[in-house]
Amino acid sequence: MDRTVDWDGSGEGAVTAVDQRALPAEYRLRRLATVDELVAAIADLTIRGAPALGAAGALGVALAARRHAGDPARVRDEAERVAAVRPTAVNLRRGVERALARLGDGPDAVLAEACALLDEDEAINRRMGRRAADLITAVCPDRPLRVLTHCNSGALAAVAWGTGLGAVRELAGRGRIAEVLACETRPLLQGARLTVWELREMGVAHRLCVDSAGPSAIARGLVDAVIVGADRIAANGDAANKIGTYALACAAARHGVPVVVVAPESTVDHATRSGADIVIEERAADEVRTVAGVPTAPPDTPVYNPAFDVTPGALLAAVVTEAATFRDGAWTVEAPAPVTAEAA
Ligand code: MRU
């Protein structure tokens, strides 16, 4: 598989992205040559998933800096347009800010910074996958695991490898996965369309279930651990992730099943004190009134469509990043090691 988000240096340069709307029917790349095209691709979930959004944000600034060289005010306006498309996933704004910090050094420096973010992504993801797999193995030592996951936290949600599903990939490599139960993840079916596609590519045994079957699978003893990613993690360990995660965590807490959130440091927002301070993106009503474009409710039905919910840190067995672990109400930071693409 190509990098989910990348830079194509041919011609005037453009962002390339695996078109996540087309999967699983078709694997295709899109070339996004303008900030307008990139903003639209982020809004319609051609590009989605927190680390992938961070990469797209940084590359969006690189695009703007090349198109409007000599007009830093215009570049900043374009950068803000990109950063504002999806408010919950903090990686998007962080990616934008990281690239923007090099604006004074010229368009090539901005692009180099964006490309450095992309290069680091896989190494970071592999490292957090190893750390999460070690922790999960310690918590659940007995047998190959039946894991439940929600939404898509695989390579498609990042530049490569993945976060939550990256930990599953690491566990599978260690022979520690019996089965993954993937929740379909209404309304946009990231679990059914993307996670199942990735699990097939990985050769990991899996079954798909409707979202409402997840809590009952936990209650019936069919799940040893819940592993997910996150879009923003507050200082107190509260984690925003795809809508439906909270219900799974409530069921898991009720039945003593560990929930582990796997996410990069760039998803941890220490400036946000608790989950109550996380802005939750609300999306279009038609996402709920239709399935794959087919109406399933009267067209004018009022809709509640939050893209994410917040799971209190107290319901999580752990949050694992490439460098730190949140457990029992506190963060423990590992001695820092340099992150390089070679470390992958
Ligand atoms: O609306 P999406 O598809 O961007 O939501 C993505 C998720 O909720 C993922 O679980 C999250 O980004 C973490 S995976 C890197």
pLDDT for position 250: 98
Listed in order, strand segments (DSSP E) in the chain are 5-8, 14-18, 29-32, 145-149, 177-183, 206-209, 225-228, 232-234, 239-242, 259-262, 268-269, 290-291, 294-295, 308-311, 318-320, 324-327, 330-333
Determine contact, residues 195/154, Cβ cutoff 8 Å: yes
Q: How far is CA 219 from CA 14, 91, 198, 254, in A?
A: 48, 34, 26, 8
CA of 69 to the centre of ligand 1 (A): 33
293: Cβ contacts below 8 Å, ≥ 6 apart: none
The Cα 292–Cα 304 span in angstroms is: 18
| Residue 115 C-beta-side C-alpha neighbours within 13 Å | 12
Instruction: State pLDDT tens for residues 33-88.
Output: 999 999 999 999 999 999 999 999 999 999 999 999 989 999 999 999 999 999 99
Mean pLDDT on 145-164:
98
Instruction: State pLDDT tens for residues 185-208.
Output: 999 999 999 999 999 999 999 999
Among left, alpha and beta (phi > 0; psi -120 to 50; other), residue 76 is alpha
Mean pLDDT on 92-101:
98
Q: What's the longest Cα–Cα distance across the chain?
A: 62
* Residue 307 Cα: closest atom of ligand 1: 1
Determine contact, residues 98/53, Cβ cutoff 8 Å: no
Instruction: State pLDDT tens for residues 203-251.
Output: 999 999 999 999 999 999 999 999 999 999 999 999 999 999 999 999 9
With the most atoms of ligand 1 within 8 angstroms of its CB, the residue from 151, 228, 232, 321 to mutate is 151
What residues does 32 pair with on adjacent strands?
15
Q: Is 241 in the pocket of ligand 1 (CB under 6 A)?
A: yes
User: Amino acid identity of 329?
Assistant: G
Confidence of residue 321 (pLDDT cuts 50, 70, 90): very high
CA of 160 to the centre of ligand 1 (A): 14
pLDDT for position 110: 98
Average pLDDT score, the chain: 96
Catalytically annotated residue among 231, 238, 269, 309: 231
The Cα 63–Cα 194 span in angstroms is: 27
Q: Is 149 in the pocket of ligand 1 (CB under 6 A)?
A: no
**pTM for this entry:** 0.96
Q: Is 88 in the pocket of ligand 1 (CB under 6 A)?
A: no
Tokens of 304: 């509640």
Helix (H, G, I), strand (E, B) or coil at 44: coil
- Write out the binding residues for substrate: 48-50, 86, 190, 241-242
Instruction: State pLDDT tens for residues 278-295.
Output: 999 999 999 999 998 899
98: Cβ contacts below 8 Å, ≥ 6 apart: 58, 113, 114, 117
Helix (H, G, I), strand (E, B) or coil at 119: helix
Tokens of 34: 């303008």
Tokens of 283: 């999306």
Nearest to 226 by CA among 256, 203, 199: 256
The Cα 147–Cα 179 span in angstroms is: 6
Query: Would you call 231 a catalytic residue per the annotation?
Result: yes
| Residue 244 C-beta-side C-alpha neighbours within 13 Å | 28
Q: Is 229 in the pocket of ligand 1 (CB under 6 A)?
A: yes
Instruction: State pLDDT tens for residues 98-145.
Output: 999 999 999 999 999 999 999 999 999 999 999 999 999 999 998 899
pLDDT for position 1: 83
Determine contact, residues 15/32, Cβ cutoff 8 Å: yes
